[in-house]
């Protein structure tokens, strides 16, 4: 089974409670459950994590170097600030898909720049929490071609 890390950055633990007009009413536990159901169908094995701490996210990216085929990452606010997460992703050889629940390009200009996009193989923004599942489908189709 292909191993995929799904990583979530700061404040995403508040999904469903935090600005629901922007991020919707589903919780991160709902997102994880739906990702696991789909991963089973697609034959993917998941590690699903969230942290409010940059270093912890970096440690998971390092861990993914040992055997994961892909990282699906919503770095949240670190998207726009973190050279350290970009550097960690540059040390990962598999597929990287960046996911944003909201359409960051429709929002404040500071959200228009992403350090992570310099590494990401694909970017999904504005498709709500469905973006995570679409990213997993892409990972599965790439794994089938490999
Ligand atoms: C986000 C967009 C970021 O700009 C923001 O800081 C987040 C969530 C999204 O999923 O839309 O926390 O990554």
What is the atom index within ligand 1 of the atom nearest the CA of 103?
11
| CATH assignment at residue 107 | 3.40.50.9100
In short, whether 77's Cβ falls inside 6 Å of ligand 1 is yes
Q: Output the residue whose Cα is nearest ligand 1's atom 9.
A: 100
Mutation test of ligand 1: which of 102, 106, 110, 128 has the most ligand atoms closer than 8 Å to its C-beta? 102
Average pLDDT of the chain, as a whole number: 97
Pairing between β-strand 68-74 and β-strand 44-50 as defined by DSSP bridges: unpaired
Q: How many CA atoms, within 13 angstroms, populate the side-chain half-sphere of residue 144?
A: 8
In short, whether 95's Cβ falls inside 6 Å of ligand 1 is no
Instruction: Supply the residues annotated as catalytic.
Output: 23, 100
pLDDT digits (tens, 9 = 90+) for 48-64: 999 999 999 999 999 99
| Mean pLDDT in residue range 7-31 | 97
In short, whether 114's Cβ falls inside 6 Å of ligand 1 is no
Asked whether residue 38 carries a pLDDT value surpassing 90, the answer given is yes
pLDDT band at 1, cuts 50/70/90? confident
Asked whether residue 18 carries a pLDDT value surpassing 90, the answer given is yes
Q: What is the pLDDT of residue 93?
A: 97
* This model's pTM is above 0.75: yes
Domain hosting 128: range is: 2-145
pLDDT band at 97, cuts 50/70/90? very high
d(CA 100, CA 124): 6
Asked whether residue 142 carries a pLDDT value surpassing 90, the answer given is yes
pLDDT band at 146, cuts 50/70/90? confident
| Mean pLDDT in residue range 69-87 | 98
The C-alpha angle with vertex 101 and arms to 97 and 103, in degrees rounded to 5, equals 95
């Amino acid at each position: 089974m292909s191993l995929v890390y799904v990583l979530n950055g700061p404040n995403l633990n508040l999904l469903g409670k935090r600005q629901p007009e922007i991020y919707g009413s589903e919780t991160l536990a709902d997102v994880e459950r739906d990702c696991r159901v789909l991963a089973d169908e697609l034959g993917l094995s998941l590690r699903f994590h969230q942290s409010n701490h940059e270093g912890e996210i970096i440690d998971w990216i390092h861990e993914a170097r040992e055997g994961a085929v892909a990282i699906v990452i919503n770095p949240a606010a670190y998207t726009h600030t973190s050279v350290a997460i970009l550097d960690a992703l540059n040390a990962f050889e598999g597929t990287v898909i960046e996911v944003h629940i909201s359409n960051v390009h429709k929002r404040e200009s500071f959200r228009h720049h992403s350090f992570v996009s310099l590494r990401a193989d694909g970017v999904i923004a504005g498709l709500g929490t469905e973006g995570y599942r679409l990213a997993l489908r892409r990972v599965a189709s790439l794994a089938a071609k490999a």
